[in-house]
Chains A and B, each alone.
Chain A
Amino acid sequence: ETGVTQSPTHLIKTRGQQVTLRCSSQSGHNTVSWYQQALGQGPQFIFQYYREEENGRGNFPPRFSGLQFPNYSSELNVNALELDDSALYLCASSFSKGWFTGELFFGEGSRLTVL
């Protein structure tokens, strides 16, 4: 059973650029959630995808968008990067029948630095 894997692990971008972060879900999981963890803070919910559709979103602007693919892997895209977007981005997968039904399994995260 493979765990949740994320790529890249680290990246540096400049303000105004766009970034794509990738996540491969744990085998057998059909739901993926993305969280932003700023330095010294707890993870903040960005959005969740279930069966390739977004079925929940936190308080993040539309320039944060995502995709879930038929194999349940996922992408997080952030456009027009701002300095405050610097954070650890965590992907988590789970098995769900629609909404939250159990614990999330997290990847190691992608650390984004915006200069």
Chain B
Amino acid sequence: AQSVAQPEDQVNVAEGNPLTVKCTYSVSGNPYLFWYVQYPNRGLQFLLKYITGDNLVKGSYGFEAEFNKSQTSFHLKKPSALVSDSALYFCAAASGNTPLVFGKGTRLSVIA
């Protein structure tokens, strides 16, 4: 069965510092990997995806993620965090014939 693990329930970072939100996945076949962000009482907004190609993927709002096949990881990163980045972040994975499976989410808090 497919699964996504986000080992940290909460990540705290000071404004201006780099941030990393961790994600590991387990899928059969080649993975399709995604990051979504959710603000309070809102739906999920797409940030970035990895389907194929370059392992470093750049997305919205200055976020990027690195696909590491050997470690089955897809960590989300940003060089300099903003207070407005504070939100709930979800990693998700699928393969060619399976639905998108989400992790339980990581709450990012950026402190001014």
Q: Say if the beta carbon of B101 comes within 8 Å of chain A.
A: yes
Contact A42 B43 (CB under 8 A): no
Cβ of B44: which chain A residues have Cβ within 8 Å of it?
A: 43, 90, 92, 104, 106
Contact A45 B101 (CB under 8 A): yes
User: How many chain-A residues does the 8 Å CB contact rule pick out?
Assistant: 26
* Per-position binary interface string of chain B over residues 80-112, scored 1 when its CB falls under 8 Å from any chain A CB and 0 otherwise: 000000000010001111111111110000000
Q: Does A109 contact B (CB under 8 A)?
A: yes
Chain B interface bracket (under 10, 10 to 19, 20 to 34, 35 or more): 20 to 34
User: Are B97 and A108 in contact, CB atoms less than 8 angstroms apart?
Assistant: no
Give 1 or 0 for each of A67-102: 1 = CB within 8 Å of chain B CB: 000000000000000000000001010000001101
Determine if A58 is an interface residue (Cβ-Cβ < 8 Å).
yes
**Least Cβ–Cβ distance between A30 and chain B, in angstroms:** 16
Please state if B94 and A100 are interface contacts (CB–CB under 8 Å).
yes
Which 7 pairs of residues, A with B, have the shortest CB-CB distance?
A42-B102, A106-B43, A106-B44, A108-B43, A45-B99, A42-B104, A100-B94
Question: 23 interchain pairs (CB within 8 A)?
Answer: A6-B43, A35-B102, A40-B104, A42-B90, A42-B103, A43-B102, A90-B43, A92-B44, A99-B97, A99-B98, A100-B95, A100-B96, A100-B97, A102-B49, A104-B46, A105-B46, A106-B43, A106-B44, A106-B45, A107-B43, A108-B43, A109-B42, A109-B43
